[in-house]
Amino acid sequence: MIDWGDFLIVAVVTLVSATVVVSLYAFGLRMLVTAGRPPHVGPAEFTDAITVISPAEAALEAKRARKAAKKNPLTPSQKRAALLTAYLCFALCASAVLYGIYLIVPALHR
Protein backbone atom coordinates (compact mmCIF):
# COMPACT_ATOMS: atom_id res chain seq x y z
CA MET A 1 0.00 0.00 0.00
CA ILE A 2 1.03 3.59 0.40
CA ASP A 3 4.47 3.67 1.87
CA TRP A 4 4.82 6.96 3.69
CA GLY A 5 8.32 6.01 4.78
CA ASP A 6 9.44 6.10 1.15
CA PHE A 7 8.04 9.57 0.68
CA LEU A 8 9.81 10.75 3.79
CA ILE A 9 13.10 9.28 2.61
CA VAL A 10 12.73 10.92 -0.79
CA ALA A 11 11.93 14.25 0.83
CA VAL A 12 14.93 14.09 3.14
CA VAL A 13 17.34 12.87 0.46
CA THR A 14 16.14 15.58 -1.93
CA LEU A 15 16.49 18.27 0.70
CA VAL A 16 19.94 17.21 1.78
CA SER A 17 21.39 16.64 -1.68
CA ALA A 18 19.93 19.82 -3.19
CA THR A 19 21.07 22.01 -0.33
CA VAL A 20 24.55 20.47 -0.34
CA VAL A 21 25.05 20.99 -4.09
CA VAL A 22 23.61 24.48 -4.01
CA SER A 23 25.63 25.51 -0.95
CA LEU A 24 28.85 24.22 -2.48
CA TYR A 25 28.29 26.15 -5.69
CA ALA A 26 27.24 29.32 -3.89
CA PHE A 27 30.19 29.09 -1.51
CA GLY A 28 32.48 28.56 -4.48
CA LEU A 29 31.16 31.74 -6.06
CA ARG A 30 31.56 33.58 -2.78
CA MET A 31 35.16 32.46 -2.56
CA LEU A 32 35.80 33.53 -6.16
CA VAL A 33 34.55 36.97 -5.24
CA THR A 34 36.65 36.99 -2.10
CA ALA A 35 39.67 36.07 -4.17
CA GLY A 36 39.03 39.09 -6.30
CA ARG A 37 37.73 37.28 -9.35
CA PRO A 38 34.02 37.86 -9.50
CA PRO A 39 32.52 35.92 -12.41
CA HIS A 40 30.96 38.09 -15.02
CA VAL A 41 28.37 36.23 -17.01
CA GLY A 42 26.06 38.32 -19.08
CA PRO A 43 22.80 36.93 -20.35
CA ALA A 44 23.13 35.08 -23.64
CA GLU A 45 19.99 36.68 -24.93
CA PHE A 46 17.84 39.55 -23.82
CA THR A 47 14.96 37.61 -22.50
CA ASP A 48 14.50 39.95 -19.62
CA ALA A 49 13.24 43.44 -19.87
CA ILE A 50 16.42 45.43 -19.73
CA THR A 51 19.95 44.25 -19.84
CA VAL A 52 23.31 45.59 -20.54
CA ILE A 53 25.14 45.62 -23.34
CA SER A 54 27.27 45.37 -26.44
CA PRO A 55 30.31 43.11 -26.15
CA ALA A 56 32.62 46.09 -25.77
CA GLU A 57 30.50 47.48 -22.98
CA ALA A 58 30.32 44.07 -21.36
CA ALA A 59 34.08 43.92 -21.36
CA LEU A 60 34.18 47.37 -19.82
CA GLU A 61 31.76 46.33 -17.10
CA ALA A 62 33.81 43.24 -16.36
CA LYS A 63 36.98 45.30 -16.20
CA ARG A 64 35.34 47.74 -13.80
CA ALA A 65 34.17 44.88 -11.62
CA ARG A 66 37.63 43.38 -11.56
CA LYS A 67 39.06 46.71 -10.61
CA ALA A 68 36.56 47.10 -7.79
CA ALA A 69 37.36 43.63 -6.58
CA LYS A 70 41.06 44.37 -6.54
CA LYS A 71 40.60 46.76 -3.67
CA ASN A 72 40.78 43.84 -1.38
CA PRO A 73 41.98 43.75 2.20
CA LEU A 74 43.27 40.21 1.80
CA THR A 75 46.92 39.37 1.36
CA PRO A 76 47.98 37.54 -1.82
CA SER A 77 48.28 34.25 0.00
CA GLN A 78 44.84 34.65 1.51
CA LYS A 79 43.49 35.35 -1.94
CA ARG A 80 45.17 32.24 -3.24
CA ALA A 81 43.65 30.21 -0.43
CA ALA A 82 40.23 31.62 -1.25
CA LEU A 83 40.67 30.75 -4.91
CA LEU A 84 41.74 27.23 -4.04
CA THR A 85 38.71 26.86 -1.78
CA ALA A 86 36.51 28.07 -4.62
CA TYR A 87 37.90 25.48 -7.00
CA LEU A 88 37.57 22.80 -4.35
CA CYS A 89 33.92 23.72 -3.88
CA PHE A 90 33.25 23.54 -7.60
CA ALA A 91 35.04 20.19 -7.82
CA LEU A 92 32.97 18.77 -4.95
CA CYS A 93 29.82 20.11 -6.55
CA ALA A 94 30.73 18.55 -9.88
CA SER A 95 31.46 15.20 -8.26
CA ALA A 96 28.07 15.30 -6.51
CA VAL A 97 26.41 15.87 -9.89
CA LEU A 98 28.45 13.07 -11.47
CA TYR A 99 27.33 10.79 -8.66
CA GLY A 100 23.75 11.72 -9.54
CA ILE A 101 24.36 10.70 -13.15
CA TYR A 102 25.97 7.49 -11.93
CA LEU A 103 22.79 6.75 -10.01
CA ILE A 104 20.45 7.13 -12.99
CA VAL A 105 22.48 4.95 -15.31
CA PRO A 106 21.83 1.38 -14.22
CA ALA A 107 24.56 0.02 -16.49
CA LEU A 108 27.14 1.64 -14.23
CA HIS A 109 26.15 0.07 -10.94
CA ARG A 110 24.22 -3.09 -11.66
Partner 1 sequence: MDLTLIVVLVIALALFFDFTNGFHDTANAMATPIATGAMKPKVAVGLAAVLNLVGAFLSTAVATTISSGLIREGNGGVQISPTMIFAGLVGAVIWNMVTWLFGLPSSSSHALFGGLIGAAIVGAGFASVNYSVLLSKVVIPAVIAPVIAGFVAYAATRIVYAITRRYDGRPDGRDGFRHGQIFSSSLVALAHGTNDAQKTMGVITLVLISGGFLAGGSDVPFWVIVACAFAIALGTYTGGWRIIHTLGKGLTDVKPAQGFAAETSTAAAILASTHLGFALSTTQVASGSVIGSGLGRRGSRVRWKTARRIAMGWLLTLPASALVGALAAWVAHLGPVGVLLDTVLGAGVIAMIFIVSSRRRVTSASMAAGVAGMSEVAQSGRAVKIKKPKQPKQPKKPRKPKKSQKPKKPGKLQDLKKATKPKTTTKGKKPKNSMSAELDPVQPPTKDKKKSSA
Binding site for partner 1 (CB under 8 A): 1-3, 6-7, 9-11, 13-15, 17-19, 21-23, 25-27, 29-30, 32-33, 38-54, 57, 65, 68-69, 94, 97, 100-101, 103-107, 110
Q: Residue 29 in contact with residue 39, Cβ under 8 Å?
A: yes
Smallest gap, in angstroms, from Cβ of residue 77 to partner 1? 21
Using CA atoms, how far residue 15 sits from 8, 11, 19, 98, in Å, is: 11, 6, 6, 18
Q: Which long-range contacts (CB under 8 A, 24 or more apart) does 11-14 make?
A: none
Measured from the CB atom, the residue of 19 and 80 that comes closer to partner 1 is 19
State in angstroms the smallest separation of the CB of 53 from partner 1: 5
Shortest Cβ 87–partner 1 spacing (Å):
13
Give yes or no for a contact between 44 and 37, defined as CB atoms under 8 angstroms apart.
no
